[in-house]
């Protein structure tokens, strides 16, 4: 991938902002991304180790074709947000999908179209990768994010999320016999 391919064009949204969206593709950008990932985790009240966050980001840099990619939003020289896009498949549509796992914009930059610019850039990466759909989720009480997604024409699903710890840590480790 060339430097021009890693750099998405500047995106303007309703004349509120002009933001530079760049694919994270080197260690310098990974280091710039870390404080934003930390803030994102704090927003969701979780605290993975910095080493784990860096490892994930470096994995995406090393293999964007198979793993996914991260996008960094910069406004006037300041890093203001990021998005993480993982590659997967969806049996129900028999197609490759992009999973926008993370979308974060710092509080001081919200309401200026940066989330929309990141979403547009993720959608463009999906098209380039052959994904026919981009999917994501948000907290049920994150009404601000839902308003952005609704404004962009996102389709709201009615799925209920579940998860199990693959290491068997916490709760009963997913081994409940009361089902």
Question: Is 162 within the bounds of a domain?
Answer: no
Model-wide pTM > 0.85 = no
What average pLDDT does this structure show over 32-47?
95
Read off the pLDDT of each residue in 55-77 and give the average, rounded to a whole number. Answer: 97
CATH number of the domain encompassing residue 80 = 3.40.630.30
User: What pLDDT shows up at residue 7?
Assistant: 41
Q: What is the average pLDDT across 127-149?
A: 81
**pLDDT over threshold 90, residue 8:** no
Write down the residue that tokens 């998860």 correspond to: 163
The pLDDT value given to residue 165? 73
Residue 176 lies in a domain: no
Give the confidence band of 164 by pLDDT, cuts at 50, 70, 90: low
Q: What is the Cα–Cα distance from 4 to 38, expressed in whole angstroms?
A: 28
Query: Mind giving me the DSSP string for 49-64?
Result: -HHHHHHHHHHHHH-T
Q: What is the pLDDT of residue 21?
A: 98
pLDDT at 169: 64
Provide the domain limits for residue 48: 3-151
Number of structural domains found in the chain: 1
Across the range 70-95, mean pLDDT stands at 96
């Amino acid at each position: 991938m060339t430097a021009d391919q890693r750099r998405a064009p500047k995106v303007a949204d309703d004349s509120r902002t002009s933001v530079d969206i760049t694919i994270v593709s080197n260690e310098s950008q990974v280091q710039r991304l870390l404080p934003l990932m930390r803030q994102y985790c704090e927003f969701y009240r979780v605290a993975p180790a910095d080493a784990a966050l860096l490892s994930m980001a470096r994995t995406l840099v090393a293999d964007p074709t198979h793993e996914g990619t991260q996008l960094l939003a910069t406004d006037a020289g300041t890093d203001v947000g990021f998005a993480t896009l993982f590659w997967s498949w969806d049996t129900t549509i028999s197609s490759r999908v992009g999973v926008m796992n993370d979308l974060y914009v710092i509080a001081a930059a919200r309401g200026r179209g940066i989330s929309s610019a990141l979403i547009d850039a993720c959608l463009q990466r999906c098209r380039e990768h052959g994904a026919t759909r981009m999917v994501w989720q948000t907290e049920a009480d994150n009404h601000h994010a839902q308003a952005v997604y609704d404004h962009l024409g996102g389709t709201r699903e009615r799925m209920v999320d579940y998860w199990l710890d693959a290491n068997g840590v916490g709760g009963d480790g997913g081994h409940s016999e009361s089902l």
